[in-house]
Amino acid sequence: MTAKKSIILFVPTDYIGIIVTNALVPALVKSGLNPVLFDTGTAKNRQFKVQAPADLSFYNVGAFDKAVIPFLNTQTPAAGATPAAMTYAQLAQTHGLTHHVIKDVNDDATRTLIDAVPDAIGAVSIRQLQIFESAIIDRFKNIGFFWNIHSGLLPDYKGLLIPYRAIINGEREYGWTLHDIDTHIDTGHIVDTCVSALDVNKPVLDTYLDMAGPAVEMIVRAVQNFPQVKKPNTGGTYYTYPTKEELSVFQRAGITYVASPRAYVDRIIASFSIPGTKHADMLRDAVIQSMAGHFRSLPQTQAEAAEALAASRRRA
């Protein structure tokens, strides 16, 4: 029997990244590949001129790092129940895959793990906030490909939180780009794109999450068609995290990250549990407790929203 070819996935603790990976892994397995997960958690190796907005960072990273993942790693749904999504550790166990937890994508320990992956054909970085150095990049390019999935359409939209920029700029479409990784940010040649109509009334987080399906199809297609003709990635604008002033402009324009704290929790339950079960109630309580603690440090209107949500859960 011919051994399966391996593909390395660099994945972070990130709501959007977890959802993409949960769809991507079974698609790659179905296509005959062996995904190997390199999990960087919340570790970063870069600095940002403008810091990530606190509430947005909490919704996408903090709640998962502090509440969702710890809960899911210790509490399982009832026997026979299979949620739509799971943690990286559970995903690896379900599909019989290797799951490495790493701190730095460039250190010697990570290079040793990469070199030990059997029959690797390349790697894909999914929403990483770490910068890859030339030694790692060259390692993958020598064996095949090294791609990043960028949540914006290149070359025009480089950088962070692109849905906000696309909406405020009056775009009618929004999409993601698969591109080569080089030593700069969002500058490698374009491998492929996936595009959807941009719903300006949809919360930004939902806009991101709803791109998971098209993004997975794009990645699988690119792997199957490798090597392919690529497009140049020149020009465009690099967008930093929004400043407080820019966030105020977005808010006045009616652009929200989540529809409400309740809608956010409901979507997590729908993805990572079975609604209506004890497991779902326990997960809901864990997320709400995490939210209440976070929102106490934010403006009063948001704190009130979190407290109202927690109170409604207690009455249920």
User: At 294, is the pLDDT very low, low, confident or very high (cuts 50, 70, 90)?
Assistant: confident
| pTM of structure | 0.93
- Among the CATH numbers 3.20.20.140, 3.40.50.170, 3.10.20.30, 3.30.43.10, which is that of 5-315? 3.40.50.170
The closest of 160, 162, 191 to 175, measured between CA atoms, is: 162
Token match 């969002």: residue?
A: 186
Please state, in angstroms and as integers, the Cα–Cα distance from residue 136 to each residue in 157, 162, 197, 231, following that order: 25, 27, 36, 23
Residues β-bridged to residue 197: 173
What percentage of the chain exceeds 70 in pLDDT?
93
What mean pLDDT do residues 230-242 have?
Answer: 96
What mean pLDDT do residues 115-124 have?
Answer: 96
Task: Name residues whose C-beta falls within 8 Å of residue 188's C-beta, 6 or more positions apart in sequence.
Answer: 148, 179, 180, 181, 182, 233
Per-residue pLDDT at 315 = 47
User: At 239, is the pLDDT very low, low, confident or very high (cuts 50, 70, 90)?
Assistant: very high
Domain boundaries, the chain: 5-315
Token match 């040793």: residue?
A: 112
Rounded Cα distance between 234 and 226, Å, is: 22
For residue range 36-95, list pLDDT tens digits in order: 999 999 988 777 888 899 999 999 999 999 999 999 999 988 877 889 999 999 999 999
Report the SS3 class of residue 239. strand
For residue range 249-270, list pLDDT tens digits in order: 999 999 999 999 999 999 999 9
What mean pLDDT do residues 118-130 have?
Answer: 95
Tell me the pLDDT of the chain averaged across its residues.
92
Rounded Cα distance between 305 and 136, Å, is: 45
For residue range 162-215, list pLDDT tens digits in order: 999 999 999 999 999 999 999 999 999 999 999 999 999 999 999 999 999 999
User: Containing H/E element for 175?
Assistant: strand 173-180
Rounded Cα distance between 63 and 15, Å, is: 9
133 neighbors 104 (Cβ within 8 angstroms):
no
